[in-house]
């Protein structure tokens, strides 16, 4: 029905499909829709489609058009919400596949669309599910602005720490300064210390803001502050949210793929030199 409405030129800001998944223990954001049926028993309408394509000649898989980065940021600390690459072989997968296929073929404006599987109320309380769905809907239709604090950390050779986001993250494989979002009413140094304790299990003192940049991504805006936190012992860090870390000299700064918001700062330091860590010891 939604696919037909898209074909007819419906004017909406986004498409959010919801379905119950009795076997799930959390709220699943479906990243992928597959062009296949794989029913092992009749669906709720009594239909049994054991195999075959949903759309003849259609792509084998289609990815959600929802803003992955925004959803990642919104739910990064919510253990009840996770990404899924398996929407099943029944009507849920069929519904989102038909929607995404129609959006791909449409000449209208790009629309964010996603399917969300909801678990039984015994797994996640209903009020928590409702709150999560509202947040997901907001992510689809609003352009957020994030205040972010990140750390400039040195080792005893004057190299700086860069951390790589893991596979599965919307920016998997990209490198960044450790840090994160500043919560409403939170001071940047307090937010940064909280993030460093969560991400690296360290508690250095942010003493001086050494860089600030406003950057517009396609789906969000970021106001990024870099705080010089002085020197630490490299063996003191424990990677919790990243899959790799590198200590980079000035000459090595551009050897990794930095996040777009971080890159202008790195390029400047590559040309002009790094800030001085010894002043903060």
Q: Which residues carry out catalysis?
A: 30, 92, 117
The values of phi and psi at residue 178, to 5°, are: -65, 145
Tokens for 215? Answer: 């950057």
Contacts of residue 167, defined as CB under 8 A and 6 or more positions apart, other chains included, come to: 173, 243
Cβ pair 25, 119 in contact under 8 A: yes
Instruction: Name the pairing type of β-strands 81-84 and 27-30.
Output: parallel
The values of phi and psi at residue 107, to 5°, are: -95, 5
Distance CA 136, CA 16 (A): 8
Q: State the residue for tokens 């062009």.
A: 35
Distance CA 196, CA 199 (A): 5
Tokens for 85? Answer: 């690459």
Tokens for 246? Answer: 């590198």
Give the closest residue to 178 by CA, choosing from 158, 156, 204.
204
Cβ pair 168, 72 in contact under 8 A: no
Distance CA 115, CA 62 (A): 12
Q: What is the CB-side half-sphere exposure of residue 111 using CA atoms within 13 A?
A: 27
């Amino acid at each position: 029905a939604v696919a037909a409405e898209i074909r007819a030129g419906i004017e909406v800001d986004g498409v959010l499909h919801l379905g119950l998944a009795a076997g799930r223990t959390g709220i699943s954001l479906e990243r992928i829709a597959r062009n296949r049926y794989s029913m092992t028993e009749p669906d709720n309408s009594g239909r049994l489609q054991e195999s075959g394509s949903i759309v003849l000649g259609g792509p084998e898989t289609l990815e959600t058009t929802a803003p992955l980065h925004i959803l990642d940021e919104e739910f990064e600390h919510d253990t009840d919400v996770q990404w899924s690459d398996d929407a099943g072989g029944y009507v849920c997968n069929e519904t989102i596949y038909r929607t995404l296929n129609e959006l791909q073929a449409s000449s209208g404006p790009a629309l964010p669309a996603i399917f969300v599987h909801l678990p039984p109320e015994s797994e996640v309380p209903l009020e928590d599910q409702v709150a999560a769905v509202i947040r997901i809907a907001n992510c689809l239709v609003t352009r957020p602005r994030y205040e972010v604090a990140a750390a400039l950390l040195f080792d005893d050779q004057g190299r700086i720490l860069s951390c790589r986001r893991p596979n599965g993250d919307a920016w998997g494989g990209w490198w960044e300064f450790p840090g994160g979002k500043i919560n409403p009413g939170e001071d940047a140094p307090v937010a940064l210390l909280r993030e460093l304790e969560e991400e690296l299990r360290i508690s250095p003192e942010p003493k001086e803001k050494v860089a600030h940049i406003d950057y517009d991504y396609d789906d969000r805006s970021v106001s990024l502050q870099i705080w010089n936190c002085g020197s630490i012992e490299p063996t003191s860090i424990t990677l919790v949210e990243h899959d790799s870390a590198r200590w980079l000299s000035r000459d090595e700064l551009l050897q990794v793929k930095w996040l777009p918001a971080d890159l202008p700062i790195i390029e400047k330091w590559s040309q002009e030199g790094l800030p001085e860590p010894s002043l903060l010891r």
